[in-house]
């Protein structure tokens, strides 16, 4: 069949989708780029928070309508949603009768055989997922040619009171350093220049397999892979960042001076209620250490606003911390109660309207910080990774006269911008540029989150 694998949610789900697409392709199916040209659609779902779960169901309902109209023949739902609803499979089967089968993230390799047998209305979810795609597994890349996500581990050993991921992703499990280097070498041979390291908790890498955390060792080995130019760390837990990791970020030429490290809050009572294994003093010391030992580092972080029991004074403390830490990249999310998590039953749940008000106030502060950060970059020369030719359809700020005309404009990113979550650069170049090329450019203008640059080589 012609099969489209639609991946929802984060990059971790995307890597699973690449593995699933590779298995389907190995079984003789053709992987398509869109729904319109497909006989079958597999939706690899996200269910991290309520909004993600609702989006997954909404997408499946839209595809169910296409199936009713005969535009697709089969529809399968995979990933976190079936696993999370494992105990409610009857409800999910009833809600989505057009779906031919459901399977969890640990059961993706079973899909080709189930399709071949033309099994109908199956619901396959393992009690504890153990799957971890390794380098020998066939993969069908779903990212552009020049960058890739490298999943170094799966699962999580933490017990954060607001998070249900360990319930449906299993315990933390790491791949070997040798296996990851093998995959990195293959990706480099395919034209990848940027590796983005991902996992539920990348800073815990190696603890299960080697008895100690070895993310720094992995970075040093990946730093030797020919063809790779940028290596980026995403999803690090602040409780496990150590001196060795900071040294590797500082000293490895290809490791970009960037880290994604979700902090979630700064108030001690809230961090304790979240079971984050850190306190405000530890977080402040860590940020100060990053700034001191890795000059010029970009720190991306996330915060949860409106956690049960959060007070106005604790929000004020978080606002002061934003001004103090001056993070370059920040995401904020209103607290969402997850089923079967301790925080769901905590007293003093914060009203939705209060959450939204607090979120708006904090994001207003962060927008000003981001704008001031970019203003300091005016006139600086930086390396820009070219992504694609800029067109009217891809133009985020197309109404701005500075980006109009027939000159050659490209979209790109600095090393301070992770793909798909951070800003981008509108690059003007008199010379043709190919995706994946690193171009030296001078920053000539700034937006709140994006930059304008002129190539200087």
Assign 3-state DSSP to the chain and report helix, strand, coil percentages, each to 5: 35, 20, 40
2-124: CATH topology is Rossmann fold (3.40.50)
Q: Which CATH number fits domain 381-455: 2.40.50.140, 3.10.129.10, 3.40.50.720, 3.40.50.300?
A: 2.40.50.140
Work out the angle between the directed axes of helices 352-375 and 312-325 (0-180°, nearest 10).
10
pLDDT at 406: 52
Read off the pLDDT of residues 334-373 as tens digits, 9 standing for 90 and up: 999 998 899 999 999 999 999 999 999 999 999 999 999 9
Fold match, 2-124 / 147-375 = no
pLDDT at 168: 82
- 8 A C-beta contact, residue 103 and residue 122: yes
Structure tokens that stand for 256 in this block: 């970009």
pLDDT at 404: 45
> Under the phi-then-psi rule, with left for phi > 0, alpha for psi from -120 to 50, and beta for the rest, what region is 7?
beta
pLDDT at 448: 84
Which pTM does this prediction carry? 0.93
CATH number at 147-375: 3.80.30.20
Read off the pLDDT of residues 25-55 as tens digits, 9 standing for 90 and up: 999 999 999 999 999 999 999 988 888 899 9
Question: Which residues of the chain carry a pLDDT beneath 50?
Answer: 393-399, 401, 404-405
pLDDT at 426: 96
Q: Closest by alpha carbon to 387, among 430, 349, 420, 342?
A: 420
DSSP string, 288-340: HHHHHHSTT-EEEEEEEES-TT--HHHHHHHHHHHHHH--SEEEEEE--PPTT
- Domain segments of the chain: what residues? 2-124, 147-375, 381-455
Q: Distance of alpha carbon 451 from its chain centroid, rounded? A: 22
Helix (H, G, I), strand (E, B) or coil at 371: helix
């Amino acid at each position: 069949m012609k099969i489209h694998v639609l991946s929802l949610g984060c990059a971790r789900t995307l890597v699973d989708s690449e593995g699933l697409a590779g298995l389907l392709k190995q079984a003789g199916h053709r992987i398509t780029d869109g729904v319109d040209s497909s006989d079958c659609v597999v939706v690899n779902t996200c269910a991290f928070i309520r909004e993600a779960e609702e989006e997954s169901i909404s997408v499946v309902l839209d595809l169910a309508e296409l199936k009713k109209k005969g535009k697709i023949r089969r529809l399968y739902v995979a990933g976190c949603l079936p696993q999370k609803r494992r105990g409610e499979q009857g409800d999910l089967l009833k809600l989505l009768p057009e779906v031919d089968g459901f399977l969890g993230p640990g059961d993706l390799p079973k899909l080709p055989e189930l399709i071949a047998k033309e099994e109908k209305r199956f619901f396959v979810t393992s009690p504890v997922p153990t799957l971890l795609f390794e380098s020998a597994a066939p993969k069908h890349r779903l990212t552009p040619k020049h960058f890739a996500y490298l999943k170094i581990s799966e699962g999580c050993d933490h017990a954060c009171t607001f998070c249900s991921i360990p319930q449906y992703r299993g315990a933390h499990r790491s791949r070997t350093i040798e296996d990851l280097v093998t995959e990195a070498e293959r990706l480099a041979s395919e034209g990848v220049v940027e590796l983005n390291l991902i996992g539920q908790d990348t800073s815990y890498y190696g603890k299960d397999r080697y008895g100690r955390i070895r993310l720094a060792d992995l970075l040093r080995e990946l730093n030797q892979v020919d063809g790779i130019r940028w290596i980026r760390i995403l999803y690090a837990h602040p409780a496990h960042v150590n001196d060795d990791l900071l040294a590797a970020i500082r000293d490895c030429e290809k490791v970009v001076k960037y880290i994604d490290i979700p902090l979630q809050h700064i108030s001690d009572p809230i961090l304790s209620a979240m079971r984050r294994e850190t306190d405000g003093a530890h977080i402040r010391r860590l940020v100060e250490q990053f700034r001191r030992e890795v000059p010029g580092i970009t720190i991306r972080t996330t915060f949860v606003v409106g956690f049960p029991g959060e007070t106005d004074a604790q929000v004020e403390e978080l606002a002061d911390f934003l001004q103090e830490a001056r993070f370059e990249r920040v995401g904020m999310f209103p607290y969402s109660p997850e089923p079967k998590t301790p925080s769901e039953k905590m007293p003093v749940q914060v009203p939705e309207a209060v959450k939204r008000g607090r979120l708006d106030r904090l994001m207003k502060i962060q927008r000003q910080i981001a704008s001031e950060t970019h203003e300091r970059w005016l006139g600086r020369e930086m390396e820009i990774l070219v992504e694609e030719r800029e067109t009217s359809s891809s133009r985020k700020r197309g109404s701005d006269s500075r980006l109009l005309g027939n000159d050659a404009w490209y979209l790109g990113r600095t090393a301070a911008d992770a793909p798909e979550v951070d800003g981008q650069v509108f690059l003007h170049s008199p010379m043709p540029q190919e995706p994946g090329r690193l171009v030296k450019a001078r920053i000539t203008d700034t937006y709140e989150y994006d930059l304008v640059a002129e190539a200087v080589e």
